[in-house]
Amino acid sequence: MSDSVEHTFHTYRFPYGEVLPSLDELARYLHMDEDAEHPAYLYMKERLAELTSSDLEAVGGYAVGAIDGLDLQAGTLTVEGVTFGVGAQVCGYLKEATEAALFLCTAGPLFSDEAHELNAQGDFLEAYIIDAIGSLTVERAMDKIHKALEVEQAKRGMKITNRYSPGYCNWPLRDQRPLFDFVSENPTGIALSESCLMHPIKSVSGVIGIGVKARRRAYGCVICQNKTCIYRRLVQKN
């Protein structure tokens, strides 16, 4: 791979008002939808209203490259000379893809900064809520980017897969490095720590496969083998 290859980063910006969860969605996510008098519910309502009217935004996008190789046995994906150790599971999900979109998206530093401050003050409930709003916001922004990619690719007669991220499905976090190198210049402002964690914390990165025969699968719990995952428990309770 030539490190000098520049991949165009398709940027999307969303004002918070477009990507924040609704009160109902947040309340359902936190299992607070049946108690509108609970301080947690009242705090959600108050913070969502404040955040909706802020001029902050989520930023993200993707860079697309051709897949040179997919080695199911080795669990590696090679995109224009850059090899990612995505693991056998993700390789399997990408096997119909001929191109890959490497994505980044962030909801910005506000959520984790505020949660950190609140935790330090001992306001754990409020910190938990802010953290949850940040998690849902970045996922909703990425949902929109995912959808935009799908629409763009459909114009070329291509389909896309689900999105997969380092840190999950045995894809090591250290692969954030080649991912960020591949994406290169981008306006998200996301930085990697020494241990390959993203800052701001409410950020996501990963890959989406593109191909004529690529397809989106039933999400999460259906394809994941992790029986103890907290998200599986949340889904079951819902």
Partner 1 sequence: MNEILEKLFTCIEFGKINTASPYPPQMRGQEGAMELTKQALEAGIAPSEIMDSALIPAMTRVGQKFTEGQVFVPQMLLSAKAMNAALTHIKPFFLSGEVKRKGTFIIGTVFGDLHDIGKNLVCMMVEGAGWEVVDLGVDASAEKFLAALEEHPGAHIGLSALLTTTMTNMKTIIDKVHETHPEVKFIVGGAPVSAEFAQEIGADGYAADPQDDIKILENFLNA
Which residues sit at the interface with partner 1, rule CB under 8 A? 30-32, 37-40, 119, 122, 124-125, 127-129, 131, 166-173, 193, 195-197, 201, 226-231, 237
How far is it, in rounded angstroms, from Cα 140 to Cα 58? 10
Q: Name the minimum Å distance from CB 51 to partner 1.
A: 18
Q: Which is nearer to partner 1, 6 or 194 (CB)?
A: 194
Task: Give me 178's structure tokens.
Answer: 């080649």
Q: Name the minimum Å distance from CB 110 to partner 1.
A: 16
Q: Name the minimum Å distance from CB 237 to partner 1.
A: 6
Q: Within 13 Å, how many C-alpha atoms sit on residue 3's CB side?
A: 4
Q: Which is nearer to partner 1, 13 or 174 (CB)?
A: 174
Q: Which is nearer to partner 1, 39 or 189 (CB)?
A: 39
Residue 184 Ramachandran class (φ > 0 left, ψ -120 to 50 alpha, else beta) = left
Cβ-based neighbours of 227, under 8 Å, separated by 6 or more: none
Q: Name the minimum Å distance from CB 228 to partner 1.
A: 6
The alpha helices in 109-198, defined as continuous H runs, are 110-121, 124-154, 176-183
Q: Which is nearer to partner 1, 154 or 191 (CB)?
A: 191
Q: Name the minimum Å distance from CB 90 to partner 1.
A: 12
Does residue 100 contact residue 149 with C-beta atoms inside 8 Å? no
Q: Which is nearer to partner 1, 5 or 125 (CB)?
A: 125
